[in-house]
Amino acid sequence: MLDQIVKTLSWIREKSFFIVVQRTFVMLMPIATIGAFFQVLKNGIFSPDSLIYNIFNFDSVMSDQFWNIGNAVSTGMVRVTLGMFGIYVAYFAAVQTARLYRKDATMAGVAAVIVITFCAFLSGADSEKEIQALIYSRVLNINGILFAIIIGYFVGQIFHFFGKDHVHIKNENYNTIRHRAWNTFIPTLISIVGGLILGLVIYYFKIKLMDSLYLKGLISSLHNSNDLKVIVPVTILATLLWWAGIGYPLQSMITTSNSAAAMANMNAALRHGSASVPYKYLGSSLVQAYGWMGNACIALSLIVVILLFTHEKDLEKIAKMNIFQVAFGSTQGLTIGLPIILNPLYLLPVVFIPAINELIAAAAISMKIIVPSVYPVLRGTPGILISFFGSNGNWSCFIFTILLFILDILILLPAIVIGQRINLELIKHGK
């Protein structure tokens, strides 16, 4: 059975699309890791509503000048790394695809950048400040990289079918460069025309990419629902989209909700205690405290598994570089570096672990082993502590979360073992 799983996943990994995805994300690991680090600084140290800011009383200790500089630097770095990550993904996806077929990778990458930035621009062209609409485009954000990877891959395929073979020359002269430029003219033109058509479709039909009202409605229904038959399927769908490269629904799910149900729970807890709240299985608190543990259930569990049970130095380096960021909720460096996103190896555990956590937590709440998490939690709170603070310091919730975290580690362990066997299989075949 295990051998068949390894063979199937190895066969999938050998397909050109997944080869491109793996190579692109691994190449971009440093940018994602640096961006995640500055995101922790922005959300944790330079945000008045963060846990670290309040614990160390930065409002009194930190000067206004230092805060302004730190906030500007951290915000700027997050925007040019994670906020524009789609540009880098589109470029390298096109480069890696073209290289698979021995085409001019550099021009393929440039063409992909033109296509995705044009689509991002037209997607927000109704904005009064169009340049800002491009810079803040959800299409280019790391939470919307599925569109970027598809753009890059298809531009690379255009170079595959319409471009001429290219052999890298170390020292190119003027005539060689001119000849190279003419060889890439046709595939570049086709790519840009294709991007022009796609952009006009986006503009004409007023398509707001990565901003679906349907997805917003789903998340709203989860935040306000007390029904596990709604909460669990929506969690699975949002997690599946996150694995596929669309992280906006999940990002909305794991943030604190100000819904009427959440306020009713908090008011009831203040009067009678957390055990007496009207919405014991409220989706927003169940997902945040137990389902995803503020991004800890997958990312932090994987770091523990990698550091304790693997002997691959590259994986260990990635895990160690991202411990700090993941502990405070910024997982991008790890999810891109391994990678987890669009990696068939992690599909089943990533999709079902949060749902399993929610079901177990709901059962524990119904048996009064733990109490619901009803109080607002400060930004940057480590995921394992969310239930503890959200229940006003209930130690049963903290111990339960630790046990749930250990369960997540055990569920993820087979994926790492299978991943090591797949790597050995690919190395054996020279891939």
Distances (CA, A) of 287 to 100, 198, 354: 41, 36, 8
Residue 353, CA distances (Å) to 236, 297, 303, 346 in order = 9, 8, 16, 11
The SS3 call for residue 379 is strand
Backbone angles phi and psi of 103, in degrees to 5: -110, 175
Question: What does the block give as tokens for 246?
Answer: 């669309």
What is the per-residue DSSP string for 66-87? Answer: HHHHHHHHHHHHHHHHTTTHHH
What is the C-alpha to C-alpha distance for residues 153 and 160, in angstroms, rounded to an integer?
A: 10
pLDDT confidence of residue 281: 85
Phi-psi sector, 151: left (phi>0), alpha (psi -120 to 50), beta: alpha
Rounded Cα gap, residues 294 and 357, in angstroms: 13
Q: Which residue intervals of 124-227 are DSSP H helices?
A: 130-135, 145-162, 174-183, 185-204, 213-224
**One pLDDT digit (tens) per residue for the chain, 431 residues:** 777 887 888 888 888 999 999 999 999 999 999 999 999 999 888 888 888 888 888 888 888 888 899 999 999 999 999 999 999 999 999 999 999 999 989 999 999 999 999 988 877 655 555 555 556 677 889 988 999 999 999 999 999 999 888 777 777 777 877 888 888 899 999 999 999 998 888 777 666 666 655 566 667 777 778 888 888 998 998 899 999 998 888 887 777 667 777 788 888 877 877 777 888 888 788 888 898 887 788 999 999 999 998 878 888 999 999 999 998 889 999 999 999 999 999 999 999 999 999 999 999 999 989 988 888 888 888 889 999 998 888 999 999 999 999 999 999 999 888 888 887 776 666 55
pLDDT digits (tens, 9 = 90+) for 26-45: 999 999 999 999 999 998 88
Here the tokens at position 72 are 């500007």
In this prediction, residue 147 carries a pLDDT of: 92
CA 28 to CA 303: how far, in whole Å?
19
Region of 372 please: left (phi>0), alpha (psi -120 to 50) or beta.
beta
Question: pLDDT tens for residues 195-240?
Answer: 999 888 877 766 666 665 556 666 777 777 888 888 899 899 889 9
In the chain, what are the domain boundaries?
Answer: 13-204, 213-428
pLDDT of residue 256: 67
What residue type is assigned to position 322 of the chain?
A: N
pTM of the complete model: 0.91
Peptide bond just before 414 cis, omega within 30 deg = no
Beta strands in 141-280 (DSSP E): none
Q: Can you read off the two tokens belonging to residue 30?
A: 């440093």
